[in-house]
Amino acid sequence: MCGIVGLINKSGLPGDYNILKNMADTIHHRGPDEDGVMIDGPVSFFHKRLSIIDIACGQQPMSFKGCTIVYNGEIYNYIELKEDLKKKGHVFETSSDTEVILHMYVEYGNNSVNFLNGMFAFIIYDRNENQIFIARDHFGIKPLYWYQNENIIAFASEIKALLAHPSIDAESEPDNLYEYLTFQFIIGSGTMFKNIYKILPGSYMSIDLKNWDIKEEKYWEPNFNIDQYHTEEYFIVELDKILKKTIYQQLRSDVPIGTYLSGGIDSSFVTVMASKFLDTQIKSFSGAFKEGPEFNELQYAHLAAKKANAELFEVFPTEQEFIDLLPKLIYHLDEPVAGPGLFPQYIVSRLASKHVKVILGGQGGDEIFGGYTRYLVAYLEQALKGSIYETNEEDEHIVSLESMLPNLPSLKQYVPMMKSFLKEGAFDDMDRRYFHLVDRMGSIAQFFEPDFLNDCRHEAIFRKFSDNFNNPDTKSYFNKMTHFDMLGSLPGLLQVEDRVSMSVSIESRVPLLDRRIVDLISRMPAGMKFKGGEMKYLLKKTIKDIMPPEIMNRKDKMGFPVPLHIWSKNKAKDFIMDTLLSKKAKERNMINTDYIEKLILEEQPFSRGLWGLLSLELWHNQFIDK
């Protein structure tokens, strides 16, 4: 796990070491163990290393047969790939996965990414073809950003490294600002910064250094070509095999390894299964708040830890830590994204960094297996619509009202969401209905000045959403929803996962986001995945025999809620007011500060909308105002 920087001078002038080093120093936290640099005429790389595999010999940049690589991530099947390459005559000098990627590229060229199973972002300078080759893993677990003008093309693991280049200015991108306020993430390749872009997940880019031709191509995305021939039992057996193999491979490490453990199904399963492959007692890390039982799931974490014979470390984030750390966390994120869960996630990661260097978690399980309560809300309305109009919008009936009844108690704490949805979004087309479930702009319109809202192209944002949601391969409502969440919202959650862990110099691995798992689950009939409206139905069926039944039968999973509605009436109140009602904030002519002040002074419950505004203003402070 590392931080990488790449610079190409279009003028042909040699790279500037000082500029390159200044950029890399901004992401020192990603790789505090070693530095590496290559300046080869107009092409220059800098590598900040966090040593995980082959600590003695895995230094970068690494070269082989005219190709040089800088790389961030882990290739979990590198041992198997290495054996295949040896049969083709390849000789290796290290035991690192970096060298395997380099040899794979020499052997297979651009097609090499199709063999890789892991999380990765890398840049290869191919002198033989006079090209730069850049690739990012299937889901975007590892980040990579880029920028170009008439003089340079620059790449980096984090945006702040690009902004350290003297010719790159931090300017906000207004259209993407509105998109952030709608979803609290940005769909596609754009960022909150003008002219700075993401390499998309499952994509590679090639740059012809002779004519500056840049091509970006998708090499993978979920395939919903449904397998109608195999039974539920077949899929359970296959999923069990892949889960075991995936976690076994992701435990490959030359440094201490542990797990996040929230007490939910995903992290509990990863912890229990990982413990079966380790010779030593696994270390697990969990957090909770002392503000009340609704913010504490440690009883379930204890059950999972007992089942795994894990050594459980606990931490209790505080209100003062929230006040002190939030500006720093927004800086580490590069751009505001997702919800307040990043704060306790950081506190747990900081604790873990004192004991391990690699940590496994359950991120991705909700998107892959269908774990969001909004899916149940959507299908309750879908079943009502079908019953009333005697219609079916899908190729087959996924669930009926009768079959959903045992799972409806899960909706207790989501009644406010249901009221809003049924009031405005019910019975429209599928894309309009799901957009209403994920759109946060409608509920916070009063937070903004009218002139600011007038520039919000909400219908254009919906069309961008709809293009993703209505993928031609997806026929069922369920697959359309999970497709959007995998390609739309998941990259934002992975951005938090990456930045929070790397800010304390640990490597976070997400075994449920293995391409083989997703390829299998995407082929399953939707009615089998979401049987009776039960969230994560197939995963539960597959792992039930090794898991504590109290965890498997829960209907009250909370995520990692932060008691902001309590804190906003205490010490955090001044922090929130000072941020949102500052002179700078008012000069932006964006926030309706009179309305916000009234909300805070009248001690209205802290909302997800206020969180979005707070994050956005802190981002402006850090990056735009400097």
Judge whether 2 counts as a catalytic residue: yes
Q: Are 366 and 484 contacting, i.e. CB atoms less than 8 angstroms apart?
A: no
16 is annotated as contributing to ligand binding: no
Q: Are 269 and 565 contacting, i.e. CB atoms less than 8 angstroms apart?
A: no
Evaluate the omega torsion of the peptide bond into residue 201 and state whether it is cis, within 30 degrees of 0.
Answer: no
**The two three-digit tokens of residue 280, written as one number:** 């030593």
Q: Are 304 and 277 contacting, i.e. CB atoms less than 8 angstroms apart?
A: no
Which of 2, 57, 67, 456 does the annotation list as catalytic? 2
**The two three-digit tokens of residue 514, written as one number:** 């293995």
φ, ψ (nearest 5 deg) of residue 236: -65, -45
d(CA 25, CA 22): 5
d(CA 485, CA 489): 5
N- to C-terminal Cα separation, the chain: 29
**The two three-digit tokens of residue 208, written as one number:** 């012809």
d(CA 214, CA 206): 6
User: CB neighbours (10 Å) of residue 552?
Assistant: 17
Q: Which residues contact 288 (CB under 8 A, 6 or more apart)?
A: 295, 296, 297, 298, 314, 316
**The two three-digit tokens of residue 8, written as one number:** 């190409």
If you write DSSP's letter for every residue of 235-286 in order, what string do you get? HHHHHHHHHHHHHHHHT--SS-EEEE--SSHHHHHHHHHHHHH-SSPPEEEE
d(CA 452, CA 591): 8
d(CA 544, CA 425): 36
If you write DSSP's letter for every residue of 103-132 in order, what string do you get? HHHHHHGGGGGGG--EEEEEEEEETTTTEE
What is the spatial order of strands in the sheet that 283-287 belongs to? 311-315, 283-287, 257-260, 358-360, 507-509
**The two three-digit tokens of residue 626, written as one number:** 């400097």
Which residues does the annotation place in the binding site?
A: 97
Residues classed as catalytic = 2
Which residues does the annotation place in the binding site for L-glutamine?
A: 97
